[in-house]
C-alpha cells in the first residue's frame, strides 16, 4: 500500500485550515443573517436562515461557496483596516 504524500503547506492562503462552518459562523456574527442575505442573495441567508441549512446549500453549490469565501476575505481586510 502506497503512502499518501502530505498536502503541501499553504502559508499564504488565509482560508487554509478553516472549515466552512467557521467561515459562515464568523460572517453571521459580523454581518448578521439579514446583511448576509443582502450581500449574497441566496435563500439559505434570506429565508429561515440557519447554520445547518446554509452549510448544506454551500457544500453543494460551488459558486455560492466561492462568494461566501470571497466575502470572508473581504471581511478580514475590513477588520484589519479599521
> Which tens digit of pLDDT belongs to each residue from 10-61?
668 888 889 999 999 999 999 999 999 999 999 999 999 999 999 999 999 9
The pLDDT of residue 3 is 67
What was the pLDDT predicted at 23? 96
Kindly state whether residue 29 falls inside one of the protein's structural domains. Answer: yes
Any domain includes 7: no
Predicted structure pTM score:
0.83
CATH code, 56: 1.10.720.30
Task: Indicate if the pLDDT at residue 9 is higher than 90.
Answer: no
Instruction: State how far the alpha carbon of 50 is from the alpha carbons of 14, 21, 81, in Å.
Output: 25, 11, 29
Q: Is the pLDDT of residue 65 over 90?
A: yes
Determine the Cα–Cα distance for residues 78 and 30; give it in Å rounded to an integer. Answer: 11
Q: What is the largest CA-CA distance in the chain?
A: 52
How far apart CA 82 and CA 69 sit, in angstroms, is 20
* Residue 60 domain-assigned (yes or no): yes
Task: Tally the domains of the chain.
Answer: 1
Amino acid at each position: 500500500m502506497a503512502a499518501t504524500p502530505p498536502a503541501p503547506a499553504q502559508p499564504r492562503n488565509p482560508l487554509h485550515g478553516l472549515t466552512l462552518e467557521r467561515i459562515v459562523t464568523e460572517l453571521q456574527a459580523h454581518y448578521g443573517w439579514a446583511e448576509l442575505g443582502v450581500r449574497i442573495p441566496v435563500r439559505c441567508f434570506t429565508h429561515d436562515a440557519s447554520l445547518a441549512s446554509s452549510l448544506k446549500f454551500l457544500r453543494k453549490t460551488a459558486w455560492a461557496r466561492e462568494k461566501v469565501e470571497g466575502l470572508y476575505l473581504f471581511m478580514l481586510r475590513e477588520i484589519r483596516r479599521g
